[in-house]
Amino acid sequence: MSGLEITGLSKSFGGVCALDDVSVAFPHGKINALIGPNGSGKTTFFNCVTGMIRADSGRITYRGQDLTGRPPHRIARAGIGRSFQLCRVFPRMTVLDNLLCAVQPRTLRAKAGRSHSRAETERARHWLTRMGIDHLERAEAQNLSWGQQKLLELAGVLMSEPETILLDEPAGGVNPALIDRICALVSELNAEGRTFLVVEHNMDLVMSLSHHIVVFDRGWPIAEGPPSAIRSDEKVLGAYLGV
């Protein structure tokens, strides 16, 4: 079943084409990966899908909803969350308060007073426990390691209970122990019903974790399929190795 479907997506910057009439679909309920050499358009694709930048043309559909041109907050409400290549946390706030900031206030009183319910605080602590960083809830985010900040950012994404999560290089700059932890979490959350789309350069992680892989080169998908097919695809080898 297709969850996220892209048709004819294009984006240029000053005459440089980052995405060239991209049409691709990512199965719902799976761990999908988007890979490709540097400059192949992966992050631009993420930014267009999540409304961070507006595509020049094309259509974005998620589970039957047309999200084309919608702003980021409306795309998030449709059930899509994302992380960033460089962690976006509030460095001088506590770990717990970082998660509570991710909660959208639902009443005028909450908006005015920035108060949080007991249920919201319990939910934040639940995700900190799932990430394995609950012992750090009173620490300032700037005092966490890079890998711990990645876990904190993922917990913040999960506070909005998205059905689909886009992860931009979750293993980048992270030590091996925490990479294993991130992989285990993604697998657990997928087993619980969440769909993932992961941009990642760590090919061991991609091949071991993903069910479905799409490969970009120069703003265009050149291959897609299960890891077993991608490993031996001549176009993929050529894009990465120049062979």
- pLDDT tens string 124-161: 999 999 999 999 999 999 999 999 999 999 999 999 99
CA angle 184, 180, 201 (to 5 degrees): 105
Q: Over 80: is that where the pLDDT of 225 sits?
A: yes
pLDDT, residue 2, reads 66
Contacts of 118 (CB under 8 A, 6+ apart): none
Closest CA to 42 of 73, 11, 77, 1: 11
Predicted TM-score (pTM) above 0.85: yes
Query: pLDDT digit string (tens) for 80-106?
Result: 999 987 778 888 999 999 999 877 555
What pLDDT is attached to residue 108? 42
What phi and psi values does residue 236 have, to the nearest 5 degrees?
A: -70, -45
Q: 148: how many CB neighbours lie within 10 A of its CB?
A: 22
**Domain covering 1-79+162-243, topology:** Rossmann fold (3.40.50)
Q: Quick one: pLDDT at residue 1? A: 54
Query: To the nearest whole number, what is the mean pLDDT of the chain?
Result: 90
Listed by start position, the domains of the chain span 1-79+162-243, 89-161
Given a cut of 50, is residue 195 above it in pLDDT?
Answer: yes
Higher pLDDT, residue 77 or 85:
77
Most confident of the ranges 17-21, 107-111, 233-237: 17-21
pLDDT at 50: 95
Structure tokens given for 175: 């030590």
> Residue 111 — pLDDT band, cuts 50, 70, 90?
very low
What is the spatial distance between Cα 214 and Cα 36, in angstroms, rounded to a whole number?
Answer: 9
pLDDT at 105: 52
Task: Give the CA radius of gyration of the chain.
Answer: 18
